[in-house]
Amino acid sequence: MSFKWMDRRNPICTLLVGIILIGILVVFIGCSEQSQSKLRVATTTSLYDTGLWEYLEPMFEEEFGVELDVMYAGTGKAIDLGQRGDVDIIAVHSKSRETAFIAEGYGVERVPFAYNYFLIVGPESDPAGVKGMNPENAFIKLMETGSGVFVSRGDDSGTHGKEKSIWVNAGFEYEDVQQVGSWYVEAGAGMGPTLVMANEMQGYTLTDMSTYLAYKSDLGLVPIVDEGAILLNVYSAIAVNPENVDVKNLEMANNLIEFLTAAEIQQLIGEYGVEVYGLQLFTPCAGNEPAS
Amino acid sequence: MTQLWDGFLKALELIYTFDPEVVQIAARSLSIGLTSIVIGSAICIPLAGLIHFNQFWGKRFLVSLIQTFYSIPTVVIGLFVFVMLSNAGPVGGLGILYTPAAIVVGQVILITPILLGLIISAFRGVDKTILDTARSMGASGWQMALLVIKEARFGVMAAVIMGFGRAISEVGISLMVGGNIRGVTRVITTAISLEAGRGDIELALALGMILIFLALVVNIIMNRIQQK
Protein backbone atom coordinates (compact mmCIF):
# COMPACT_ATOMS: atom_id res chain seq x y z
CA MET A 1 0.00 0.00 0.00
CA SER A 2 1.70 3.21 -1.04
CA PHE A 3 0.36 6.73 -1.18
CA LYS A 4 1.36 9.19 -3.82
CA TRP A 5 1.77 12.06 -1.40
CA MET A 6 4.22 10.11 0.68
CA ASP A 7 6.25 9.24 -2.40
CA ARG A 8 9.85 10.08 -1.62
CA ARG A 9 10.37 11.48 -5.07
CA ASN A 10 7.71 14.14 -4.56
CA PRO A 11 9.70 17.39 -4.29
CA ILE A 12 7.30 19.23 -2.05
CA CYS A 13 7.22 16.34 0.37
CA THR A 14 11.00 16.40 0.49
CA LEU A 15 10.94 20.13 1.02
CA LEU A 16 8.54 19.87 3.91
CA VAL A 17 10.52 17.11 5.56
CA GLY A 18 13.63 19.22 5.03
CA ILE A 19 12.10 22.27 6.68
CA ILE A 20 10.94 20.20 9.62
CA LEU A 21 14.32 18.59 10.12
CA ILE A 22 16.05 21.97 9.96
CA GLY A 23 13.54 23.29 12.43
CA ILE A 24 14.20 20.50 14.89
CA LEU A 25 17.91 20.95 14.42
CA VAL A 26 17.70 24.66 15.17
CA VAL A 27 15.77 24.04 18.35
CA PHE A 28 18.23 21.46 19.55
CA ILE A 29 21.15 23.69 18.72
CA GLY A 30 19.38 26.28 20.79
CA CYS A 31 19.31 23.91 23.75
CA SER A 32 22.80 22.61 23.38
CA GLU A 33 24.15 26.12 23.64
CA GLN A 34 24.43 25.36 27.32
CA SER A 35 28.07 24.85 26.47
CA GLN A 36 28.60 28.60 26.26
CA SER A 37 28.16 29.84 29.79
CA LYS A 38 25.24 32.06 30.56
CA LEU A 39 24.46 34.62 33.19
CA ARG A 40 20.79 35.23 33.89
CA VAL A 41 19.65 38.52 35.32
CA ALA A 42 16.09 39.44 36.30
CA THR A 43 15.34 43.14 36.04
CA THR A 44 12.32 45.38 36.25
CA THR A 45 10.15 46.42 33.32
CA SER A 46 10.84 50.08 34.08
CA LEU A 47 14.57 49.55 33.71
CA TYR A 48 14.26 47.24 30.72
CA ASP A 49 11.88 49.45 28.75
CA THR A 50 14.41 52.26 28.62
CA GLY A 51 16.70 50.05 26.56
CA LEU A 52 19.60 50.44 28.99
CA TRP A 53 20.12 46.67 29.26
CA GLU A 54 20.13 46.23 25.50
CA TYR A 55 22.75 48.95 25.36
CA LEU A 56 25.02 47.40 28.01
CA GLU A 57 24.46 43.74 27.12
CA PRO A 58 26.86 43.44 24.17
CA MET A 59 29.59 45.25 26.11
CA PHE A 60 29.34 42.87 29.04
CA GLU A 61 29.14 39.82 26.80
CA GLU A 62 32.24 40.83 24.93
CA GLU A 63 34.28 41.70 27.99
CA PHE A 64 33.51 38.47 29.83
CA GLY A 65 32.85 36.06 26.95
CA VAL A 66 29.53 34.98 28.40
CA GLU A 67 25.95 35.12 27.20
CA LEU A 68 23.83 37.53 29.21
CA ASP A 69 20.15 36.59 29.37
CA VAL A 70 18.01 39.48 30.57
CA MET A 71 14.57 38.62 31.89
CA TYR A 72 12.24 41.41 32.75
CA ALA A 73 9.22 41.39 35.03
CA GLY A 74 7.75 43.44 37.84
CA THR A 75 10.06 43.68 40.86
CA GLY A 76 7.89 41.15 42.73
CA LYS A 77 8.32 38.54 40.00
CA ALA A 78 12.02 39.34 39.59
CA ILE A 79 12.58 38.71 43.30
CA ASP A 80 10.61 35.47 43.01
CA LEU A 81 12.87 34.35 40.16
CA GLY A 82 15.85 35.06 42.39
CA GLN A 83 14.38 33.03 45.24
CA ARG A 84 13.74 30.13 42.91
CA GLY A 85 17.23 30.24 41.51
CA ASP A 86 15.96 30.72 37.97
CA VAL A 87 18.26 33.73 37.69
CA ASP A 88 21.75 34.37 39.07
CA ILE A 89 21.36 38.05 39.89
CA ILE A 90 18.55 40.60 40.20
CA ALA A 91 18.51 44.32 39.41
CA VAL A 92 15.46 45.99 40.91
CA HIS A 93 14.37 49.17 42.70
CA SER A 94 12.60 48.45 45.94
CA LYS A 95 14.87 48.99 48.92
CA SER A 96 12.61 47.37 51.51
CA ARG A 97 12.13 44.23 49.47
CA GLU A 98 15.79 44.09 48.54
CA THR A 99 16.76 44.29 52.20
CA ALA A 100 14.29 41.50 53.02
CA PHE A 101 15.67 39.42 50.12
CA ILE A 102 19.13 39.63 51.68
CA ALA A 103 17.95 39.25 55.28
CA GLU A 104 16.11 36.05 54.32
CA GLY A 105 19.32 34.69 52.88
CA TYR A 106 18.50 34.80 49.19
CA GLY A 107 20.85 37.61 48.25
CA VAL A 108 24.45 38.42 48.94
CA GLU A 109 24.82 42.18 48.95
CA ARG A 110 22.82 45.19 47.78
CA VAL A 111 24.85 47.29 45.36
CA PRO A 112 23.14 50.47 44.08
CA PHE A 113 24.41 51.43 40.65
CA ALA A 114 22.12 54.16 39.33
CA TYR A 115 19.21 56.32 40.36
CA ASN A 116 16.65 58.68 38.99
CA TYR A 117 13.34 60.03 40.19
CA PHE A 118 9.75 59.08 40.01
CA LEU A 119 7.20 61.65 39.06
CA ILE A 120 3.45 61.88 38.94
CA VAL A 121 2.23 62.64 35.45
CA GLY A 122 -1.27 63.56 34.44
CA PRO A 123 -3.46 65.50 32.03
CA GLU A 124 -2.62 69.08 31.30
CA SER A 125 -6.05 70.09 32.60
CA ASP A 126 -5.14 68.81 36.09
CA PRO A 127 -8.73 68.16 37.25
CA ALA A 128 -7.73 67.54 40.86
CA GLY A 129 -5.62 70.67 41.01
CA VAL A 130 -2.50 69.03 42.38
CA LYS A 131 0.16 70.47 40.15
CA GLY A 132 3.32 71.52 41.93
CA MET A 133 2.40 69.99 45.27
CA ASN A 134 4.58 67.48 47.02
CA PRO A 135 3.57 63.84 46.47
CA GLU A 136 1.96 63.21 49.85
CA ASN A 137 -0.17 66.34 49.70
CA ALA A 138 -1.12 65.59 46.12
CA PHE A 139 -2.38 62.18 47.18
CA ILE A 140 -4.31 63.72 50.08
CA LYS A 141 -5.95 66.17 47.70
CA LEU A 142 -6.80 63.36 45.26
CA MET A 143 -8.52 61.53 48.10
CA GLU A 144 -10.42 64.61 49.21
CA THR A 145 -11.65 65.79 45.86
CA GLY A 146 -12.15 62.39 44.27
CA SER A 147 -12.00 64.14 40.93
CA GLY A 148 -9.38 62.89 38.56
CA VAL A 149 -8.53 59.29 37.85
CA PHE A 150 -5.38 57.71 39.28
CA VAL A 151 -3.99 54.66 37.51
CA SER A 152 -1.89 52.42 39.72
CA ARG A 153 0.56 49.77 38.46
CA GLY A 154 -1.24 47.38 40.79
CA ASP A 155 1.31 44.65 40.07
CA ASP A 156 3.58 44.46 43.09
CA SER A 157 6.37 46.17 41.16
CA GLY A 158 8.97 48.56 42.54
CA THR A 159 6.96 51.47 41.17
CA HIS A 160 3.83 50.10 42.79
CA GLY A 161 5.75 49.76 46.05
CA LYS A 162 6.81 53.40 45.84
CA GLU A 163 3.22 54.46 45.21
CA LYS A 164 2.07 52.49 48.24
CA SER A 165 4.71 54.13 50.40
CA ILE A 166 3.51 57.59 49.34
CA TRP A 167 -0.05 56.66 50.40
CA VAL A 168 1.25 55.42 53.73
CA ASN A 169 3.33 58.55 54.23
CA ALA A 170 0.25 60.61 53.50
CA GLY A 171 -1.51 58.81 56.31
CA PHE A 172 -3.63 56.25 54.51
CA GLU A 173 -3.96 52.49 54.76
CA TYR A 174 -3.45 51.00 51.31
CA GLU A 175 -6.43 48.62 51.67
CA ASP A 176 -8.62 51.70 52.17
CA VAL A 177 -7.19 53.31 49.08
CA GLN A 178 -8.02 50.25 47.01
CA GLN A 179 -11.66 50.49 48.11
CA VAL A 180 -12.03 54.17 47.55
CA GLY A 181 -13.99 54.08 44.35
CA SER A 182 -13.81 53.96 40.61
CA TRP A 183 -11.33 56.81 40.31
CA TYR A 184 -8.54 54.59 41.65
CA VAL A 185 -7.71 52.16 38.85
CA GLU A 186 -5.46 49.14 39.40
CA ALA A 187 -3.94 48.31 36.04
CA GLY A 188 -1.97 45.18 36.93
CA ALA A 189 0.42 45.96 34.09
CA GLY A 190 3.90 47.15 33.27
CA MET A 191 4.92 50.80 33.15
CA GLY A 192 4.34 51.27 29.42
CA PRO A 193 0.81 49.84 29.35
CA THR A 194 -0.02 51.72 32.56
CA LEU A 195 1.03 55.00 30.93
CA VAL A 196 -1.14 54.16 27.94
CA MET A 197 -4.08 53.51 30.23
CA ALA A 198 -3.54 56.78 32.10
CA ASN A 199 -3.33 58.54 28.78
CA GLU A 200 -6.56 57.00 27.50
CA MET A 201 -8.37 57.80 30.74
CA GLN A 202 -6.73 61.24 31.02
CA GLY A 203 -5.70 60.31 34.53
CA TYR A 204 -2.68 60.57 36.82
CA THR A 205 -0.09 57.91 37.38
CA LEU A 206 3.24 57.47 39.11
CA THR A 207 6.04 56.72 36.69
CA ASP A 208 9.80 56.65 36.65
CA MET A 209 11.44 59.38 34.64
CA SER A 210 13.20 57.09 32.17
CA THR A 211 10.21 55.05 30.98
CA TYR A 212 8.18 58.24 30.64
CA LEU A 213 10.84 59.86 28.49
CA ALA A 214 11.65 56.73 26.51
CA TYR A 215 8.07 55.89 25.74
CA LYS A 216 7.81 55.68 22.02
CA SER A 217 4.24 56.70 21.47
CA ASP A 218 2.71 60.09 22.01
CA LEU A 219 1.45 60.58 25.50
CA GLY A 220 -0.82 63.47 26.31
CA LEU A 221 0.47 63.41 29.89
CA VAL A 222 2.61 66.10 31.47
CA PRO A 223 4.66 66.17 34.70
CA ILE A 224 2.41 67.19 37.56
CA VAL A 225 4.41 66.44 40.69
CA ASP A 226 8.14 66.02 40.36
CA GLU A 227 9.62 67.22 43.64
CA GLY A 228 9.73 65.35 46.86
CA ALA A 229 12.34 63.35 48.74
CA ILE A 230 10.19 60.24 48.56
CA LEU A 231 10.45 60.22 44.78
CA LEU A 232 14.03 59.00 44.79
CA ASN A 233 14.32 55.80 42.70
CA VAL A 234 17.45 53.73 43.27
CA TYR A 235 18.35 50.72 41.14
CA SER A 236 20.46 48.08 42.84
CA ALA A 237 21.97 44.78 41.78
CA ILE A 238 22.00 41.81 44.13
CA ALA A 239 23.70 38.49 43.41
CA VAL A 240 21.66 35.46 44.37
CA ASN A 241 23.18 33.62 47.31
CA PRO A 242 24.43 30.16 46.33
CA GLU A 243 24.49 29.07 49.98
CA ASN A 244 20.71 29.06 50.12
CA VAL A 245 19.62 28.90 46.50
CA ASP A 246 20.60 26.41 43.83
CA VAL A 247 22.64 28.72 41.59
CA LYS A 248 26.14 28.14 40.32
CA ASN A 249 27.17 31.42 38.82
CA LEU A 250 28.23 33.66 41.68
CA GLU A 251 31.55 34.58 40.13
CA MET A 252 29.99 35.83 36.90
CA ALA A 253 27.21 37.57 38.87
CA ASN A 254 29.89 39.44 40.79
CA ASN A 255 31.53 40.30 37.48
CA LEU A 256 28.28 41.93 36.39
CA ILE A 257 28.12 43.93 39.61
CA GLU A 258 31.71 45.08 39.13
CA PHE A 259 30.91 45.91 35.52
CA LEU A 260 27.91 48.05 36.46
CA THR A 261 29.88 49.98 39.04
CA ALA A 262 33.08 50.37 36.99
CA ALA A 263 34.00 53.98 36.22
CA GLU A 264 33.77 53.59 32.45
CA ILE A 265 30.34 51.96 32.50
CA GLN A 266 29.07 54.36 35.15
CA GLN A 267 29.92 57.20 32.79
CA LEU A 268 28.06 55.48 29.94
CA ILE A 269 25.04 54.97 32.18
CA GLY A 270 25.08 58.66 33.02
CA GLU A 271 25.25 59.62 29.36
CA TYR A 272 22.59 57.15 28.23
CA GLY A 273 19.74 58.89 26.49
CA VAL A 274 21.08 62.40 26.88
CA GLU A 275 21.53 62.89 23.16
CA VAL A 276 18.04 61.67 22.34
CA TYR A 277 16.07 63.19 25.21
CA GLY A 278 18.23 66.10 26.29
CA LEU A 279 18.12 64.83 29.87
CA GLN A 280 19.93 62.24 31.91
CA LEU A 281 17.82 59.10 32.23
CA PHE A 282 20.00 57.75 35.01
CA THR A 283 22.47 59.22 37.46
CA PRO A 284 25.27 56.78 38.24
CA CYS A 285 26.03 56.15 41.88
CA ALA A 286 28.54 53.29 42.03
CA GLY A 287 27.64 51.44 45.19
CA ASN A 288 26.69 54.49 47.21
CA GLU A 289 23.08 55.32 47.59
CA PRO A 290 22.34 59.06 47.46
CA ALA A 291 21.07 60.45 50.74
CA SER A 292 17.32 60.92 50.32
CA MET B 1 -5.81 54.53 10.39
CA THR B 2 -2.43 56.02 9.69
CA GLN B 3 -0.94 53.74 12.33
CA LEU B 4 -2.22 50.68 10.47
CA TRP B 5 -0.85 51.98 7.19
CA ASP B 6 2.49 52.89 8.82
CA GLY B 7 2.59 49.41 10.31
CA PHE B 8 2.03 47.87 6.90
CA LEU B 9 4.80 49.97 5.35
CA LYS B 10 7.13 49.07 8.19
CA ALA B 11 6.37 45.38 7.62
CA LEU B 12 7.31 45.72 3.96
CA GLU B 13 10.49 47.54 4.89
CA LEU B 14 11.50 44.88 7.42
CA ILE B 15 10.85 42.07 4.93
CA TYR B 16 12.57 43.82 2.05
CA THR B 17 15.70 44.70 4.01
CA PHE B 18 15.83 41.30 5.76
CA ASP B 19 16.27 43.14 9.06
CA PRO B 20 18.51 40.68 10.94
CA GLU B 21 16.72 40.81 14.25
CA VAL B 22 13.32 40.28 12.61
CA VAL B 23 14.68 37.41 10.51
CA GLN B 24 16.05 35.82 13.67
CA ILE B 25 12.80 36.01 15.60
CA ALA B 26 10.73 34.91 12.59
CA ALA B 27 12.97 31.88 12.07
CA ARG B 28 12.65 31.08 15.75
CA SER B 29 8.83 31.36 15.70
CA LEU B 30 8.74 29.05 12.70
CA SER B 31 11.18 26.47 14.01
CA ILE B 32 9.54 26.28 17.43
CA GLY B 33 6.06 26.07 15.91
CA LEU B 34 7.08 23.43 13.40
CA THR B 35 8.87 21.36 16.02
CA SER B 36 5.81 21.50 18.25
CA ILE B 37 3.46 20.37 15.50
CA VAL B 38 5.78 17.56 14.38
CA ILE B 39 6.14 16.21 17.90
CA GLY B 40 2.45 16.78 18.58
CA SER B 41 1.39 14.94 15.42
CA ALA B 42 3.79 12.09 16.09
CA ILE B 43 2.20 11.60 19.50
CA CYS B 44 -1.41 12.40 18.69
CA ILE B 45 -2.08 10.63 15.40
CA PRO B 46 -1.33 7.18 16.87
CA LEU B 47 -2.92 8.13 20.19
CA ALA B 48 -6.09 9.28 18.47
CA GLY B 49 -6.14 6.00 16.59
CA LEU B 50 -5.77 4.06 19.82
CA ILE B 51 -8.60 6.00 21.44
CA HIS B 52 -10.89 5.78 18.45
CA PHE B 53 -10.44 2.13 17.58
CA ASN B 54 -10.73 0.74 21.06
CA GLN B 55 -13.71 0.54 23.29
CA PHE B 56 -13.01 1.13 26.93
CA TRP B 57 -14.80 2.32 30.00
CA GLY B 58 -14.83 6.14 30.21
CA LYS B 59 -14.11 6.65 26.52
CA ARG B 60 -16.89 9.14 26.03
CA PHE B 61 -15.79 11.04 29.11
CA LEU B 62 -12.24 11.14 27.81
CA VAL B 63 -13.35 12.60 24.50
CA SER B 64 -15.39 15.22 26.38
CA LEU B 65 -12.38 16.03 28.50
CA ILE B 66 -10.23 16.44 25.41
CA GLN B 67 -12.74 18.86 23.95
CA THR B 68 -12.89 20.80 27.19
CA PHE B 69 -9.16 21.38 27.01
CA TYR B 70 -9.53 23.12 23.64
CA SER B 71 -10.21 26.22 25.74
CA ILE B 72 -7.29 26.05 28.11
CA PRO B 73 -5.62 29.45 28.33
CA THR B 74 -1.99 29.56 27.23
CA VAL B 75 -0.99 31.46 30.36
CA VAL B 76 -2.26 28.56 32.46
CA ILE B 77 -0.18 26.07 30.53
CA GLY B 78 2.73 28.49 30.71
CA LEU B 79 2.35 28.75 34.46
CA PHE B 80 2.15 24.99 34.87
CA VAL B 81 5.22 24.35 32.72
CA PHE B 82 7.10 27.17 34.50
CA VAL B 83 6.43 25.64 37.91
CA MET B 84 7.56 22.24 36.64
CA LEU B 85 10.71 23.46 34.93
CA SER B 86 11.77 26.09 37.45
CA ASN B 87 14.98 25.44 39.33
CA ALA B 88 12.86 25.13 42.45
CA GLY B 89 10.47 22.74 40.71
CA PRO B 90 10.37 18.97 40.15
CA VAL B 91 11.95 18.84 36.70
CA GLY B 92 14.20 21.86 37.14
CA GLY B 93 17.34 19.79 36.81
CA LEU B 94 16.80 19.56 33.05
CA GLY B 95 17.75 23.21 32.86
CA ILE B 96 15.52 23.91 29.88
CA LEU B 97 13.58 26.81 31.37
CA TYR B 98 14.10 29.97 29.31
CA THR B 99 15.21 28.00 26.26
CA PRO B 100 13.23 27.20 23.08
CA ALA B 101 12.86 23.60 24.28
CA ALA B 102 10.66 24.75 27.16
CA ILE B 103 8.41 26.60 24.74
CA VAL B 104 8.13 23.44 22.62
CA VAL B 105 7.10 21.45 25.69
CA GLY B 106 4.38 23.95 26.51
CA GLN B 107 3.14 24.20 22.94
CA VAL B 108 2.93 20.42 22.57
CA ILE B 109 0.75 20.36 25.70
CA LEU B 110 -1.32 23.19 24.21
CA ILE B 111 -2.01 21.54 20.85
CA THR B 112 -2.49 17.96 22.07
CA PRO B 113 -6.21 18.38 22.89
CA ILE B 114 -6.85 20.08 19.55
CA LEU B 115 -4.99 17.42 17.58
CA LEU B 116 -6.56 14.52 19.47
CA GLY B 117 -10.07 15.91 19.29
CA LEU B 118 -10.02 16.83 15.62
CA ILE B 119 -8.20 13.69 14.49
CA ILE B 120 -10.63 11.46 16.39
CA SER B 121 -13.45 13.31 14.63
CA ALA B 122 -11.69 12.76 11.32
CA PHE B 123 -11.34 9.04 12.01
CA ARG B 124 -15.01 8.85 12.91
CA GLY B 125 -15.80 9.98 9.42
CA VAL B 126 -14.09 6.98 7.84
CA ASP B 127 -16.61 4.52 6.44
CA LYS B 128 -16.53 1.31 8.50
CA THR B 129 -17.15 -0.86 5.47
CA ILE B 130 -13.74 0.10 4.06
CA LEU B 131 -12.08 -1.31 7.18
CA ASP B 132 -14.19 -4.47 7.11
CA THR B 133 -13.26 -5.02 3.46
CA ALA B 134 -9.59 -4.51 4.21
CA ARG B 135 -9.70 -6.92 7.16
CA SER B 136 -11.46 -9.54 5.06
CA MET B 137 -8.69 -9.17 2.45
CA GLY B 138 -6.11 -10.00 5.09
CA ALA B 139 -4.73 -6.56 5.95
CA SER B 140 -2.50 -6.43 9.02
CA GLY B 141 -2.99 -4.02 11.90
CA TRP B 142 -0.41 -1.58 10.52
CA GLN B 143 -1.92 -1.61 7.07
CA MET B 144 -5.35 -0.96 8.51
CA ALA B 145 -4.05 1.98 10.51
CA LEU B 146 -2.37 3.50 7.47
CA LEU B 147 -5.54 2.92 5.49
CA VAL B 148 -7.58 4.86 8.03
CA ILE B 149 -5.10 7.72 8.03
CA LYS B 150 -5.16 7.81 4.27
CA GLU B 151 -8.96 7.86 4.18
CA ALA B 152 -9.12 10.53 6.85
CA ARG B 153 -6.21 12.52 5.48
CA PHE B 154 -8.15 15.73 4.86
CA GLY B 155 -9.41 15.79 8.41
CA VAL B 156 -5.99 14.92 9.76
CA MET B 157 -4.35 17.64 7.69
CA ALA B 158 -6.95 20.14 8.89
CA ALA B 159 -6.14 19.19 12.46
CA VAL B 160 -2.41 19.60 11.84
CA ILE B 161 -2.88 23.01 10.22
CA MET B 162 -5.06 24.08 13.14
CA GLY B 163 -2.51 22.83 15.64
CA PHE B 164 0.32 24.69 13.93
CA GLY B 165 -1.74 27.88 13.83
CA ARG B 166 -2.47 27.60 17.52
CA ALA B 167 1.18 26.98 18.36
CA ILE B 168 2.75 29.75 16.33
CA SER B 169 0.25 32.38 17.45
CA GLU B 170 0.40 31.88 21.20
CA VAL B 171 2.03 34.34 23.60
CA GLY B 172 1.30 33.06 27.10
CA ILE B 173 3.59 30.05 27.00
CA SER B 174 6.39 31.74 25.09
CA LEU B 175 6.42 34.61 27.55
CA MET B 176 6.21 32.59 30.76
CA VAL B 177 8.65 29.78 30.01
CA GLY B 178 10.65 31.39 27.25
CA GLY B 179 11.09 34.75 28.89
CA ASN B 180 11.33 36.74 25.67
CA ILE B 181 15.11 36.82 25.99
CA ARG B 182 16.70 38.70 23.14
CA GLY B 183 18.70 36.36 20.94
CA VAL B 184 17.52 33.23 22.73
CA THR B 185 13.77 32.89 23.11
CA ARG B 186 12.31 36.02 21.57
CA VAL B 187 9.64 35.05 19.06
CA ILE B 188 7.32 37.22 17.00
CA THR B 189 4.43 37.11 19.43
CA THR B 190 6.49 38.02 22.49
CA ALA B 191 8.27 40.74 20.52
CA ILE B 192 4.88 42.22 19.63
CA SER B 193 3.95 42.20 23.30
CA LEU B 194 7.20 43.96 24.25
CA GLU B 195 7.12 46.60 21.53
CA ALA B 196 3.46 47.39 22.10
CA GLY B 197 4.26 47.80 25.79
CA ARG B 198 7.01 50.25 24.91
CA GLY B 199 4.71 52.25 22.72
CA ASP B 200 6.27 51.26 19.40
CA ILE B 201 2.87 50.48 17.88
CA GLU B 202 4.16 50.69 14.33
CA LEU B 203 6.75 47.97 14.91
CA ALA B 204 4.25 45.83 16.84
CA LEU B 205 1.76 46.02 13.96
CA ALA B 206 4.49 45.29 11.43
CA LEU B 207 5.56 42.17 13.33
CA GLY B 208 1.93 41.04 13.49
CA MET B 209 1.58 41.37 9.75
CA ILE B 210 4.81 39.44 9.20
CA LEU B 211 3.50 36.62 11.39
CA ILE B 212 0.30 36.40 9.37
CA PHE B 213 2.34 36.42 6.18
CA LEU B 214 4.48 33.53 7.47
CA ALA B 215 1.38 31.56 8.48
CA LEU B 216 0.00 32.15 4.98
CA VAL B 217 3.16 30.78 3.36
CA VAL B 218 3.21 27.69 5.56
CA ASN B 219 -0.46 27.06 4.88
CA ILE B 220 -0.02 27.32 1.13
CA ILE B 221 2.74 24.75 1.31
CA MET B 222 0.67 22.43 3.49
CA ASN B 223 -2.27 22.74 1.11
CA ARG B 224 -0.13 21.90 -1.91
CA ILE B 225 0.95 18.73 -0.16
CA GLN B 226 -2.61 17.85 0.76
CA GLN B 227 -3.65 18.03 -2.83
CA LYS B 228 -0.99 15.69 -4.16
Interchain contact, A30 vs B97, CB within 8 Å: no
Interchain contact, B31 vs A27, CB within 8 Å: yes
B123 contact A CB<8A: no
Q: Which of residues 205-234 of A touch B (CB under 8 A)?
A: 214-217, 219
Q: pLDDT band for position B140 (50/70/90)?
A: confident
Is the residue at B6 inside a domain?
A: no
Using a CB-CB cut-off of 8 Å, the residues of chain B touching A245 are: 87
Is the residue at B3 inside a domain?
A: no
> How far is B16 from chain A, CA to nearest CA, in Å?
22
The per-residue pLDDT for A286 is 86
Cα gap A105→A14, rounded to integer Å: 56
Mean pLDDT of B196-216: 90
pLDDT for B107-137, tens place per residue? 999 999 999 999 999 998 888 788 888 888 8
Is the residue at B12 inside a domain?
A: no
Nearest CB partner across the interface for B147, out of A1, A19, A40: A1
Which of A282, A289, A247, A207 is closest to A90 using CA atoms? A247
Interchain contact, A71 vs B181, CB within 8 Å: yes
Instruction: Give the angle subtended at the CA of B223 by the CAs of B218 and B228, to the nearest 5°.
Output: 130
Q: Which of residues 62-121 of B touch A (CB under 8 A)?
A: 86-89, 92, 95-101, 104
Interchain contact, A86 vs B34, CB within 8 Å: no
Note whether A209 and A117 are within 8 A (CB).
Answer: yes
Report the run of H or E that residue A143 belongs to, with start and end.
Answer: helix A135-145
**A277 half-sphere exposure, CB direction, 13 A CA radius:** 18
- Decide if domain A33-116+232-284 falls under CATH 3.40.190.10: yes
Using a CB-CB cut-off of 8 Å, the residues of chain B touching A217 are: 199-201
Query: Domain locations in chain A?
Result: 1-31, 33-116+232-284, 117-231
Number of CB pairs, chain A paired with chain B, less than 8 A apart? 111
> How far is A210 from chain B, CA to nearest CA, in Å?
12
Q: Which of residues 125-144 of A touch B (CB under 8 A)?
A: none
Handedness of CA B38, B40, B45, B47 (dihedral sign): positive
Collapse the DSSP code of A36 into the 3-class scheme (helix H, G, I; strand E, B; otherwise coil) and give the result. coil
Cα gap A128→A139, rounded to integer Å: 10
Interchain contact, A71 vs B179, CB within 8 Å: yes
Task: Count Cβ neighbours within 10 Å for each residue of A78-115 and write b for 16 or more, e otherwise.
Answer: bbbbbbbbbbbbbbbbbbebbeebeeeebbbebbbbbb
One pLDDT digit (tens) per residue for chain A, 292 residues: 444 544 445 555 566 666 666 666 665 655 555 546 899 999 998 888 888 999 999 999 999 999 999 999 889 999 999 999 999 999 999 999 999 999 999 999 999 999 999 999 999 999 999 999 999 999 999 999 988 999 999 988 999 999 999 999 999 999 999 998 889 999 988 888 899 899 989 999 999 998 898 887 788 999 999 999 999 999 999 999 999 998 989 999 999 999 999 999 999 999 998 998 888 899 999 877 776 5
Pick the residue with more confidence: A275 or B227? A275
The per-residue pLDDT for A1 is 46
Is the residue at B14 inside a domain?
A: no
Interchain contact, B87 vs A84, CB within 8 Å: yes
B147 contact A CB<8A: yes
Q: Which of residues 186-205 of B touch A (CB under 8 A)?
A: 196-201
Mean pLDDT of B7-18: 88
Identify from B36, B87, B187, B223 which residue to disrupt to test chain A contact, counting A C-beta atoms within 10 A and taking the largest count. Answer: B87
Count: domains in chain B = 1
Using a CB-CB cut-off of 8 Å, the residues of chain A touching B201 are: 217
The conformation of residue A231, written as its DSSP 8-state character, comes to: G
The per-residue pLDDT for A224 is 95
Instruction: Give the angle subtended at the CA of B176 by the CAs of B118 and A152, to the nearest 5°.
Output: 120
The per-residue pLDDT for B228 is 62
Interchain contact, B32 vs A27, CB within 8 Å: yes
> How far is A133 from chain B, CA to nearest CA, in Å?
29
Q: Domain limits at B140?
A: 22-227
Alpha-carbon separation of residue A240 from A45, A98, B64 (angstroms) = 19, 11, 46
Interchain contact, A217 vs B88, CB within 8 Å: no
The per-residue pLDDT for A217 is 77
CATH code for A117-231?
3.40.190.10
CATH of the domain at B75: 1.10.3720.10
Is the residue at B219 inside a domain?
A: yes
B143 contact A CB<8A: yes
**B142 half-sphere exposure, CB direction, 13 A CA radius:** 2
> How far is A89 from chain B, CA to nearest CA, in Å?
14
Alpha-carbon separation of residue B51 from A110, B98, B115, B153 (angstroms) = 57, 34, 13, 17
Collapse the DSSP code of B9 into the 3-class scheme (helix H, G, I; strand E, B; otherwise coil) and give the result. helix
Identical fold for domains A33-116+232-284 and A117-231, yes or no, is yes
Interchain contact, A23 vs B31, CB within 8 Å: yes
